Amino acid sequence: MSHYTEFFINGQWVKPKGEQTLDVINPANEEVAATIALGNKEDVDLAVEAARKAFETYSQTSREERIALLEKVLAVMTKRQPDLAKAISIEMGAPAKLAKAAQAPSGIGHFSAALDALKEFKFEEEIGTTLVVKEPIGVCGLITPWNWPMNQMACKVAPALATGCTMVLKPSEVAPLSALILAEILEEAGVPAGVFNLVNGDGPTVGAAMSSHPGIDMMSFTGSTGAGRQVMKSGADTIKRVALELGGKSANILLDDVNFEKMVGHAVMSCMNNSGQSCNAPTRLLVPNSRMEEVAEIAKTVAAKVKAGDPDAEDTVIGPVVSKAQWSKIQGLIQDGIAENAKLIVGGPDRPEGLTKGYYVKPTIFSHVTNDMTIAREEVFGPVLVIIGYENDDEAVRIANDTNYGLSGYVSSANLDRARNVARRIRTGMVHLNGAPLDNKAPFGGYKESGNGREWGHYGFEDFLEVKSIYGYNVKQA
The CA distance from 278 to 369, in Å, is 21
What is the tens place of the pLDDT at every residue in 210-221? 999 999 999 999
- DSSP per residue over 298-311, as a string? HHHHHHTT--B--T
The pLDDT of residue 478:
62
Cα 295–383–156 angle (5° rounding)? 120
The pLDDT of residue 477:
73
Length of the chain: 478
What is the tens place of the pLDDT at every residue in 447-468? 999 999 999 999 999 999 999 9
The pLDDT of residue 476:
81
The CA distance from 14 to 22, in Å, is 17
Percent of the chain with pLDDT over 90: 99
Measured N-to-C along each axis, helices 149-163 and 105-120 cross at an angle, to the nearest 10 degrees, of 20
The per-residue pLDDT of the chain, averaged, comes to 97
Of 245, 244, 213, 239, give the one whose Cα is nearest residue 466.
Answer: 239
* Burial grade of 331 (CB within 10 A; 0-12, 13-18, 19 or more): middle
What is the tens place of the pLDDT at every residue in 59-69? 999 999 999 99
Quick one: average pLDDT of 300-304?
97
Q: Is the pLDDT of residue 1 over 70?
A: no
The number of beta carbons lying within 10 Å of the beta carbon of residue 438 is 14
What is the tens place of the pLDDT at every residue in 58-103? 999 999 999 999 999 999 999 999 999 999 999 999 999 999 999 9
The CA distance from 97 to 81, in Å, is 13
What is the tens place of the pLDDT at every residue in 146-204? 999 999 999 999 999 999 999 999 999 999 999 999 999 999 999 999 999 999 999 99
Task: List domains and CATH numbers for the chain.
Answer: 7-247+447-470 (3.40.605.10), 251-427 (3.40.309.10)
Q: Note if 30 is an active site residue.
A: no
The pLDDT of residue 460:
98
Which position among 6, 184, 245, 449 bears the catalytic label?
A: 245
3-class secondary structure, 146 = coil
The pLDDT of residue 295:
98
What residue type is assigned to position 139 of the chain?
Answer: V
Cα 92–195–66 angle (5° rounding)? 100
The DSSP bridge pattern shows strands 218-222 and 196-198 to be unpaired
Of 149, 173, 159, give the one whose Cα is nearest residue 20.
Answer: 173
The pLDDT of residue 66:
98
Strand partners, 344: 366
The pLDDT of residue 353:
95
The CA distance from 165 to 124, in Å, is 17
Alpha carbon separation from 10 to 16, 239, 259 (Å, rounded)? 13, 26, 56
What is the tens place of the pLDDT at every residue in 342-382? 999 999 999 999 999 999 999 999 999 999 999 999 999 99
The number of beta carbons lying within 10 Å of the beta carbon of residue 218 is 24
